[in-house]
A and B are shown apart, each in its own frame.
Chain A
């Protein structure tokens, strides 16, 4: 095992290379571009026998990814933020084709206003598309999740595309030690794509298409996808088991960190959850029974595991690094729906934070745990809380006053 310093982007590129992806349709967007640059470099130098094609948009890129997968080649692609939103129509379409391929999304907050840094509104917008979703918290997980994703996508019981999500900057540009698996072990774990009849030859033209259908056959095909996604949870467990025996790293659907006797748990996804892990350690040192529950698998949603892990807790501090405008945090809503009706379901304290990469300080984690515990003591669910401090508001007011002054100056107004 070769342990090297890699960014999340390099880890994703290495995974595509180790998975022996044949075809990489691409379109650049910050902070994803590094993935495509690495792959382009390897393909050009001949160290990766694949074909990379640069498209004119993410929409076309996705159409090409789905079409290529439907001919039986292994496809890798990547995007981020606005790119994912722009491709959204083709996400739904290619999932409906039951075309298996892997796409890495590098999370970045969506416009407007524009930001380059991470939050999860982009990936969560793809929640209902039919793609499976795996959310990563470290660069190692990015590499490993892509390999796992191919096994899942190509499994005949699933046969759907998979999105692997990593946070922009916090993972994409951050180097940390990553164990680079050797190619032989990867080939054992992930054999060549057995397309089982879906194949295309230039000399033997065929067309593969979907028809316009009425409600009844339409319902049938849509619900087949739902069943395939639900069944994918069991397939994930098998694949994760096989991965653990080949590489010694284990990835249950849900990470449960120091949860054994926890009264309060943090519930969140993505890279900042490693900060929650550090906060759990500090809170434990201070004598508090706090843990972290983090779904890796987000679609299918690991409802059964979550019900099991959450039962017996007093309160859950949900940290949503996203906001469903007009409702609130997506994770809080999803978690509440699986806990509904559970006897003595723990109370949920809802927090929204880390939008556009806004930092989440250790003290904020400590305070979230305290708010959740106080709520459990009083039995009163607190109002959802946006993590935003007095200091931030003061700085915001300063920016606004500069903007107003300049507006007047530029308009020649007094």
Chain B
């Protein structure tokens, strides 16, 4: 069975990317399963999706703990332990990262034994997923170019024609660019029941209720959560055009992330702005524009498994 895990942030099209791969593999005659997994918070929050493909009906479902291929649409996720990007990445697992940096940099940084591939997704992180799909389809070595194109068309048919065409172009460009890596992904064997490591189950014991009740006992906890990291697009105020209406963007921002100064100037709190683009839509002066969120690559020291 082929097992592919995709990591990205809500809004990057990770679920759709998994469906494109799923549909392409299905069209190539595989039994397929694809699924997203996410928590309560969507846009910008870490999201995982799974694709399984086999020549027999698939009984396995849920989490993929032993992937063959891992795709990462947003390199900043390596710093988020709960995103689980590195889970189960052993020596045979291929890792494909959307990043402006060279694969060699990531090889040194992550100190992983397995093959690492990278490609530059271009300015807009929202486009990383379709390019990843194209590269991954080529690396799997079992999806033909025209089948990939058809699967893309099927899964993106809700989009306008222009967006469909540019997505298709990005995917096919990546597909062609990864020609040299065709067949870079191998299949892991199923976990054997003959010689397995027994799970280290514990006998759970009673903790004091002061820590055993799932309650929050503090005020203003949401300030502590830097939801600004979830943004894939950033609102930018052009103060030359802002009328200082003083209330529209700041009142309608669902995250109260816009404050207004004494001189009526709006200021966006980028630590907490989630990038929903409500302010961009409502500003009557058209003074707020949407820019791609610059993803500073992660500082090496903040990453696990880094050689000094």
Interface of A toward B, CB cutoff 8 Å:
5, 112-114, 116, 169-170, 173-177, 271-272, 274-275, 277-279, 281-283, 285-286, 288, 357, 359-364, 366-367, 370, 385-391, 393, 400, 403-404, 406-407, 410-411
**Which of B23, B200, B204, B217 makes the CB contact (< 8 A) with A386?**
B204
In contact, A367 and B204 (Cβ under 8 angstroms): no
Q: B40 at the A/B interface (Cβ < 8 Å)?
A: yes
User: Which residue, A114, A175, A362, A403, has most C-beta atoms of chain B within 10 A?
Assistant: A175
In chain B, positions 174-216 with a C-beta closer than 8 Å to chain A are 190-194, 196-202, 204, 211, 214
**Among A116, A275, A403, contact of B39 (Cβ-Cβ < 8 Å):** A116
Asked if B35 contacts A174 (CB within 8 A), the reply is yes
| Extra contacts besides A113-B214, A362-B196, A389-B199 (12): CB < 8 Å | A169-B35, A173-B36, A174-B61, A177-B26, A177-B32, A275-B61, A285-B192, A359-B65, A386-B204, A388-B204, A406-B224, A407-B217
Number of residues from B at the complex interface, CB < 8 A: 41
Determine whether B59 belongs to the interface, using a CB cutoff of 8 Å to chain A: yes
Does A389 lie within 8 Å of B200, measured CB to CB? yes
- Smallest Cβ distance from A319 to chain B, in angstroms? 13
Chain B residue numbers with a CB within 8 Å of A112 are: 214
B202 & A410 in contact (Cβ 8 Å cutoff): no
B34 touches A410 (CB 8 A): no
Which of A5, A112, A359, A389 has the most C-beta atoms of chain B within 10 angstroms of its own C-beta? Answer: A5
Task: Across the interface, name the chain A residue whose C-beta is closest to B15.
Answer: A173
**Residue A278 contacts which of B19, B32, B63, B190 (CB distance < 8 angstroms)?**
B190
Residues of A close to B217: CB separation below 8 A: 407
Interface residues of B in 28-63 (CB under 8 A from A): 31-37, 39-40, 58-63
Contact (Cβ within 8 A) A170 B62: yes
Knowing A174-B35, A176-B33, A410-B221 touch, does A385 contact B59 (C-beta < 8 A)? Answer: no
Give the distance in Å from the alpha carbon of A286 to the alpha carbon of B33 in the complex: 26
Judge whether A5 and B193 touch: CB under 8 Å.
no
Q: Is the pair A275, B191 in contact by a Cβ cutoff of 8 Å? A: no
Query: Is the pair A361, B199 in contact by a Cβ cutoff of 8 Å?
Result: yes
Contacts of A360 in B (CB 8 A): 62
Interface pair A282/B193, CB less than 8 Å apart = yes
Q: Identify whether the interface residues of B are mostly helix, strand, loop, or mixed.
A: loop
Chain B residues lying within 8 Å of A370, measured Cβ to Cβ, are 198
Q: Are A282 and B220 in contact (CB under 8 A)?
A: no
Give Cα A403 to B196, complex, Å. Answer: 35
- Is the CB–CB distance between A410 and B219 below 8 Å? yes
Contacts of A116 in B (CB 8 A): 39-40
Residues A5 and B191 in contact in the complex (CB < 8 Å), given A113-B214, A170-B61, A275-B59? no
Contact between B193 and A285, CB atoms less than 8 A apart: yes
Kindly identify which residue among B35, B63, B197, B211 contacts A359, using a CB–CB cutoff of 8 Å.
B63
A and B contact pairs by CB, cutoff 8 A, 25 listed: A112-B214, A170-B35, A173-B36, A174-B34, A175-B33, A176-B31, A176-B32, A271-B61, A274-B59, A275-B60, A286-B192, A362-B193, A362-B196, A363-B191, A367-B198, A386-B201, A386-B204, A388-B201, A388-B204, A391-B200, A393-B202, A393-B204, A400-B211, A406-B224, A407-B217
A62 to B205, CA, bound (A): 41
**CB-CB < 8 A to A279: which residues of B?**
193
Whether A282 and B192, one on each chain, are in contact in the complex, defined by CB atoms closer than 8 angstroms, is yes
A277 to B214, CA, bound (A): 35
Picked from B19, B191, B204, the residue with its CB within 8 Å of the CB of A362 is: B191
Tell me the minimal C-beta distance from A45 to chain B in angstroms. 13
- Given known A-B contacts A5-B22, A177-B32, A274 and B211 have beta carbons under 8 A apart: no
Cα separation A366 to B193 with both chains bound (whole Å): 6
Contacts of A407 on B, CB cut-off 8 Å? 217-218
- Closest Cβ of chain B to A138, distance in Å, is 9
B50 to chain A, nearest CB (A): 8
Q: A169-B37, A400-B211, A410-B221 are in contact. Are A359 and B62 (CB under 8 A)?
A: yes
Q: How far is the CB of B207 from chain A (nearest CB, A)?
A: 9
* Cα separation A4 to B204 with both chains bound (whole Å): 44
With A174-B33, A285-B193, A286-B194 in contact, is A363–B199 under 8 Å at CB? yes
Given contacts A173-B35, A359-B65, A288 and B201 within 8 Å (CB-CB): no
Residues of A within 8 A of B197 (CB): 363
| Cβ-defined contact, B34 with A175, below 8 A | yes
Choice from B19, B194, B199 contacting A364 with Cβ under 8 Å: B199
Q: Chain A residues with Cβ under 8 A from B221's Cβ? A: 406, 410
Which residues of A have CB within 8 Å of B65?
359, 361
A117: min CB distance to chain B, Å:
8
Distance, CA A244 to CA B58, complexed state (A): 22
The distance in angstroms between the C-alpha atoms of A366 and B197, with both chains bound, is: 10
Smallest CB separation, A124 vs chain B (Å): 20
Which of A114, A169, A277, A357 is B59 in contact with, Cβ under 8 Å?
Answer: A277
CB distance from B199 to the nearest CB of A (A): 5
Contact A410 B214 (CB under 8 A): no
Instruction: For A277, list chain B residues within 8 Å (CB).
Output: 59
